[in-house]
Amino acid sequence: MFRKLLLLAVLSLSTIAAKAQNDIAIGKMYKLNSKQLNEDREIQIYLPKSYTDTTITPQQYPVIYLLDGESNFNYLTAYVEKLSKYPYPSIPEMIVVGIVNTNRTRDLTPSTRKEENMTEAQKSKIKGESGGNANFFSFIEKELMPYINENYRTMGYNVLIGHSFGGITALNNLLNYTDMFHAYIVHDPSIWWDGQYMLKQYELNPTKDFKNRKLFVTQVDESQNKGGQKEHYSSIQEYNQYMTKTKLKNLSYKYVQYEGEDHGSIPLKGNLDGLRYIFEGFGINFKQIKENPKLVEENYKSFSQKMHFEFKPNEAYLNYIIDYYKKMDEQDTVKYFEQYRDKLHQK
């Protein structure tokens, strides 16, 4: 009896009660059966806010394919949402497709490891299959991408993001499967893998035409160049030296080192900067639109030229501008943007 009273007393301490509860959901998980890989694969899908906006004509979006989805989907989708937010988007709204691992070392390595290229520490740590990049790319190219393109409104511009083994996988894709993606973000890649297999592949192709792709590479700082990390660290340094000194044909390349980050944390800051690097020039100074309404059209034109891909302003973004100038009672600006919107997005 006393305990029951005590319990009641404790429960009534709070003068506030929760009224309702809903899940805060950021995307959906799908299971796809891959014939190429002969297994079920989990795929995470994030759709941008305007995707389901029924007041606008259906828009098309770039797609980010994200390796190691289970480790990166949550913050990466939040970045895309935050950086693409009106009135000051620095990147476009995008669909994010996270690929969850089943057998990571098998899928995310470009070559079957050769015993002579492994240290004793690597031999004990890395076991099982490797060298499955080709099959993994078949899965993406023949199954995942068609599935995404048929079931979602994609505009055809694709980005690949990879970290560590996922990083060399992305570098392999850029070099040998160049048509699949338009831009790559690569974090602290395992260039050491299999006697620097990927670096050697790049060195064998100095005249490669990269077809206007973009590549952003990150690395941890010098303080991480110690112990078992030495080979990992110096291999990326060698790769960057090769990429910097070689006249790479039609490749925009940027390398950034991050002070205070380690191998695990580097994608957090790196993806933020990588996304902004890839879409550099996308942002428009919203406050200058009033003086020069053509700024939006002009900027999309120059941005598209720079990207070698046609981007056009989302109807929801144009409506945001229209609403803003309606409130300011700037009728001419409103009329201009309504005409521009209707020209781009015919109902």
Q: Does residue 15 bind a second copy (CB under 8 A)?
A: yes
- The least CB distance from residue 282 to a second copy, in Å, is 14
Q: What are phi and psi of 237, to 5 degrees?
A: -55, -45
Q: Does residue 8 bind a second copy (CB under 8 A)?
A: no
How far CA 52 is from CA of 91, 153, 320, in Å, comes to: 19, 11, 16
Q: Which residues pair with 220 in a beta bridge?
A: 258
Q: Are strands 95-99 and 154-163 parallel, antiparallel or unpaired?
A: unpaired
For residue 177, the one-letter residue type is: Y
What gap in Å lies between CA 223 and CA 290, rounded to an integer?
49
Nearer to a second copy, 85 or 114 (CB): 85
7, 57, 58, 75: residue in contact with a second copy (rule CB under 8 A) = 75
144, 220, 296, 318: residue in contact with a second copy (rule CB under 8 A) = 144
Binding mask 55-74 for a second copy (x = CB under 8 A): ----------------x-xx
- The least CB distance from residue 246 to a second copy, in Å, is 27
Q: What are phi and psi of 58, to 5 degrees?
A: -55, 125
Nearer to a second copy, 21 or 207 (CB): 21
Stretch that binds a second copy, among 50-58, 126-134, 264-272, 305-313 (CB under 8 A): 264-272
Q: Does residue 150 bind a second copy (CB under 8 A)?
A: yes
Q: Does residue 256 bind a second copy (CB under 8 A)?
A: no
3-class SS of residue 155: strand
Q: Does residue 90 bind a second copy (CB under 8 A)?
A: yes
Question: Cβ neighbours of residue 41 under 8 Å, at least 6 residues apart?
Answer: 31, 32, 33, 34, 99, 100, 102, 139, 144
Q: Does residue 122 bind a second copy (CB under 8 A)?
A: no
Do the beta carbons of residue 86 and residue 146 sit within 8 Å? Answer: no
First-to-last alpha carbon distance for the chain, in angstroms, is: 70
Residues of span 160-199 touching a second copy by CB under 8 A:
none
Nearer to a second copy, 165 or 202 (CB): 165
Q: Does residue 82 bind a second copy (CB under 8 A)?
A: yes
What gap in Å lies between CA 213 and CA 163, rounded to an integer?
18
Q: Does residue 5 bind a second copy (CB under 8 A)?
A: no
Q: Residue 29: how many CB atoms within 10 A of its CB?
A: 12
Q: Does residue 14 bind a second copy (CB under 8 A)?
A: yes
DSSP letters spanning 62-102: EEEEESSHHHHHHHHHHHHHHHT-TTS-SS---EEEEE--S
Stretch that binds a second copy, among 21-29, 125-133, 234-242, 243-251 (CB under 8 A): 21-29
Q: Does residue 269 bind a second copy (CB under 8 A)?
A: yes
Q: Does residue 28 bind a second copy (CB under 8 A)?
A: yes
For residue 289, the one-letter residue type is: I
Q: Does residue 147 bind a second copy (CB under 8 A)?
A: yes
6, 35, 179, 223: residue in contact with a second copy (rule CB under 8 A) = 35
Nearer to a second copy, 138 or 201 (CB): 138
Q: What is the CA radius of gyration of the chain?
A: 24
Which spans of this chain sit near a second copy (rule: CB under 8 A)? 10-11, 13-35, 40, 43-44, 71, 73-75, 77-79, 81-83, 85, 88, 90, 142-144, 146-147, 150-151, 260, 262, 264-265, 268-269, 272-273
